[in-house]
Amino acid sequence: MAISLWKNLLQTTRERILQRRRVSLYNGAHGYEEELIKKKLHQFDGGSINLSKEDNGIGILTLNNPKLMNAFTGTMMLELQERVTELENWKDGKGLIIYGAGNTFCSGSDLNAVKAISNSQDGMNMCMFMQNTLTRLMRLPLISVALVQGKAIGGGAELTTACDFRLMTPGSEIRFVHKHMGLVPGWGGAARLVRIVGSGAALRLLSGAARVDPEGALRLGLSEETLSSSDGTAALEEAQAWLSQYTEGPASVIRAVKKVVSAGRELPVEAALRTEKDIFGTVWGGPANLQALLKRPKHK
Ligand SMILES: CC[C@@H](C(=O)O)C(=O)SCCNC(=O)CCNC(=O)[C@H](O)C(C)(C)COP(=O)(O)OP(=O)(O)OC[C@H]1O[C@@H](n2cnc3c(N)ncnc32)[C@H](O)[C@@H]1OP(=O)(O)O
């Protein structure tokens, strides 16, 4: 009896810890100084991150710094965090497309900022800041797609891995160039890449700083589909049509689907099962479920 109570207590504590980690990966206990790095990032301005929340429940997040191939300035990193908070609070949202202005995805961190914060303290804080933001992005209850046009380089390649799916346009490429910068990914891109393509392929992509074209990405399972158009607006429309196959239906159900998959992706199996049970409880007997029972559809 005592042992079983003890085991339950341990399990609950572990789940609470995981729950808390879901909010933020790093805090002061990890030596993370959020206010300090935010102040620093403010000094490197330019570009913007724009969010439009469409009536169909699909959000469009635009990386907007085309002069620098949509490289992330400091203020864009800060704005990304703000947009992710906005998306966390968007209860009608079902999907998200991230794409870059000017027919290209993103060329990673703005090298001017990187040079200025190349000391260890700033580098570690920036790394933790971006990991926190991209982890929250990955865990949004929205089905997310990175629409890769042109180039997704360095941190840009890492950002694509924080999405559930990647769609590429003809002639585009994803490239983890970190080795050539004397670096490894620091925005969580390596950990996520391993889970997407497996450790062997991830090792090849990172150690070879290999250029992955749409065909290669399809082969590796890094991309879902090569779109037919490389033009900005047409490609975005194609991506919206592709995503809407999966976002059709009530927000409560689509969001629950993403949540059970997130749990399965990230948690040990027992915790994932318990989370699935809790999420199941939010849809069982809910309006969509009762309506379906009334209609008694046949799934032929
Ligand atoms: C922790 C850091 C790490 C991470 O976050 O994980 C990083 O991301 S480090 C950054 C990695 N990215 C790079 O090293 C990209 C460097 N740039 C390139 O390789 C090329 O510019 C390109 C992205 C392949 C595009 O080539 P191309 O199509 O020929 O355009 P240009 O080279 O003429 O670029 C136009 C313009 O944009 C400037 N640019 C591009 N990327 C960056 C960047 N990341 N930071 C700052 N500026 C960037 C480029 O210098 C050109 O400007 P001008 O020279 O003034 O014309």
- 176: Cβ–Cβ under 8 A, 6 or more apart, which residues? 154, 157, 158, 185, 189, 193, 205, 206, 209, 210
pLDDT at 120 over 70: yes
The confidence score (pLDDT) of residue 300 equals 87
SS3 7: helix
| Cα 106 to ligand 1 centroid, rounded to whole Å | 9
Closest CA to 146 of 134, 137, 132, 159: 159
Tokens of 248: 């059709």
Please state which of the ranges 2-16, 22-36, 240-254 shows the lowest mean pLDDT: 2-16
Tokens of 18: 């995981």
The confidence score (pLDDT) of residue 12 equals 53
CA distance 1 to 8: 11
Q: What is the mean pLDDT of residues 214-236?
A: 96
Q: What is the ipTM of this complex?
A: 0.97
Homologous superfamily, domain 31-248: 2-enoyl-CoA Hydratase; Chain A, domain 1 (3.90.226.10)
- Rounded to 10°, the helix 269-283/2-23 angle is 70
| Cα 260 to ligand 1 centroid, rounded to whole Å | 37
Q: Give the number of the atom of ligand 1 that is nearest the alpha carbon of residue 158.
A: 6
- Compute the mean pLDDT over every residue in the chain, rounded to the nearest whole number: 93
pTM of this structure = 0.93
Tokens of 225: 């589909």
The confidence score (pLDDT) of residue 24 equals 81
CA distance 154 to 272: 32
Instruction: Provide the b/e sequence for 267-293 (b: ≥16 CB within 10 Å).
Output: beeebbeebbeebeeebeeeeeeeeee
Q: 141-191 pLDDT, tens per residue?
A: 999 999 999 999 999 999 999 999 999 999 999 999 999 999 999 999 999
SS3 1: coil
The confidence score (pLDDT) of residue 231 equals 86
Q: What is the mean pLDDT of residues 49-64?
A: 98
CA distance 19 to 300: 39
Residues 255, 115: contact at Cβ < 8 Å? no
| Cα 176 to ligand 1 centroid, rounded to whole Å | 13
CB atoms near residue 240 (< 10 Å):
18
Percent of the chain past pLDDT 90, that is, above it, reads 88
Ligand 1 binding site (Cβ under 6 Å of any ligand atom): 68-69, 71, 107-112, 114, 151, 153-155, 158, 177-178, 181, 183, 185-187
Helices (H) then strands (E): counts for the chain = 13, 9
| Cα 31 to ligand 1 centroid, rounded to whole Å | 30
| Atom 26 of ligand 1, nearest CA residue | 69
Q: Where in the chain is the domain with CATH 3.90.226.10?
A: 31-248
Residue with tokens 């982890």: 135
Split at pLDDT 50, 70, 90, the class of 6 is: low
Q: Give the number of the atom of ligand 1 that is nearest the alpha carbon of residue 108.
A: 8
| Atom 53 of ligand 1, nearest CA residue | 68
Sheet holding 48-53, edge to edge: 48-53, 58-64, 95-100, 143-148, 165-168, 225-226
| Atom 49 of ligand 1, nearest CA residue | 68
